[in-house]
């Protein structure tokens, strides 16, 4: 299969903007994160914020964004703090202004289109639970809490977890040793170590939030799937990723 060039990719986006008002980026769910979708082109063509939405089937997300695009093309300006009908039958939706701290996490292709820049506004479309409670309402269905992260807040904690969820680490990390190895095991437990062979004698249990406070850069691996690990040579290097626990990979290599 022939891979398209960046020029061809950009032309496809431009063609969709011209024909439909915007281009849609659809990201399927994985074993940890929900699906999401966002527009490219509403800002270029109409001077209107792009729109992003999470946590529903991609075809539904596409329908929601297309409806938003239709409203924008008709001259309506979508705003925050207002209930909108027409997006979901029997349910109102609202919009939040996305904090730019999240742009590189979710809007990378959009930044690429806008000349490697994230200098454009984005609104997040927020949908309610079946009782019409929004995520910030007290009675919102707790089982749906992490289906749509709220991108206007908590920029210092990007994980799809409660802040007080237990994480595994070592005394050395708590004493200041850099975190170089992270595991998100199949059971959902998070482990943060300074070496690839931590001693069980030095194990410590802490809150996940305390790990992000020790090293805010840990927020950038919020997306690590169940059963995956990440590592880096030092705190100034990019993370590398692989499926499976590190010790499983080593055992495989030793047996080959």
Mean pLDDT calculated for residue range 220-227? 98
Give the pLDDT band of residue 253 (cuts 50, 70, 90).
very low
Over range 242-249, report the average pLDDT: 67
Tokens at 18, concatenated: 């011209």
For the segment 200-229, the average pLDDT, to the nearest whole number, is: 97
Section 225-253 average pLDDT: 81
pLDDT of residue 130: 96
pLDDT digits (tens, 9 = 90+) for 97-107: 999 999 999 99
Domains of the chain by residue range: 6-147, 166-255
CA–CA distance, 206 with 124 (Å, rounded to integer): 32
pLDDT (average), residues 153-165: 98
- Per-residue pLDDT reduced to its tens digit, 132-156: 999 999 999 999 999 999 999 999 9
Confidence band, pLDDT 50/70/90 cuts, at residue 251: very low
Express each pLDDT in 72-99 by its tens digit: 999 999 999 999 999 999 999 999 999 9
Give the mean pLDDT of 208-228.
98
pLDDT value at 246 more than 60: no
How high is the pLDDT of residue 143? 95
Answer yes or no: is pLDDT of 249 > 50.
no
**pLDDT tens digits for range 9-58:** 999 999 999 999 999 999 999 999 999 999 999 999 999 999 999 999 99
Q: Which residue has the higher pLDDT, 28 or 250?
A: 28
CA 226 to chain centre: 15
pLDDT at 248: 45
Distances (CA, A) of 145 to 64, 133, 199, 219, 221: 20, 11, 35, 19, 20
pLDDT at 215: 97
What is residue 256's predicted lDDT score, i.e. its pLDDT?
35
Spatial CA neighbour of 202 closest among 192, 216, 187? 192
pLDDT band at 252 (very low <50, low <70, confident <90, very high): very low
């Amino acid at each position: 299969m022939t891979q398209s060039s960046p020029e061809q990719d950009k032309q496809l986006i431009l063609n969709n903007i011209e024909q439909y008002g915007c281009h849609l980026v659809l990201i399927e769910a994985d074993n940890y994160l929900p699906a999401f979708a966002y527009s490219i082109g509403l800002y270029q063509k109409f001077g209107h914020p792009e729109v992003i939405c999470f946590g529903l089937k991609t075809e539904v997300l596409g329908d929601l964004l297309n409806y938003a695009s239709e409203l924008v093309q008709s001259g309506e300006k979508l705003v925050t703090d207002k209930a909108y009908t027409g997006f979901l039958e029997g349910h109102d939706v609202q919009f939040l202004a996305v904090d730019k701290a999240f742009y590189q996490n979710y809007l990378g292709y959009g930044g690429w289109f806008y000349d490697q820049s994230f200098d454009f506004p984005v609104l997040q479309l927020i949908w309610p639970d079946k009782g019409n409670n929004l995520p910030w309402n007290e009675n919102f269905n707790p089982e749906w809490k992490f289906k749509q992260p709220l991108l206007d807040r908590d920029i210092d904690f990007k994980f799809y977890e409660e802040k007080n969820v237990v994480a595994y680490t070592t005394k050395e990390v708590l004493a200041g040793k850099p975190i170089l190895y992270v595991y998100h095991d199949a059971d959902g437990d998070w482990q943060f170590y300074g070496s690839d062979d931590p001693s069980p004698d030095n194990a410590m249990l802490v809150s996940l939030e305390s790990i992000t406070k020790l090293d805010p850069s840990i927020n950038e691996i919020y997306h690590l799937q169940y059963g995956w690990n990440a590592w880096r040579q030092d705190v100034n290097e990019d993370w590398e990723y692989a499926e499976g626990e590190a010790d499983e990979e080593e055992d495989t290599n030793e047996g080959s």
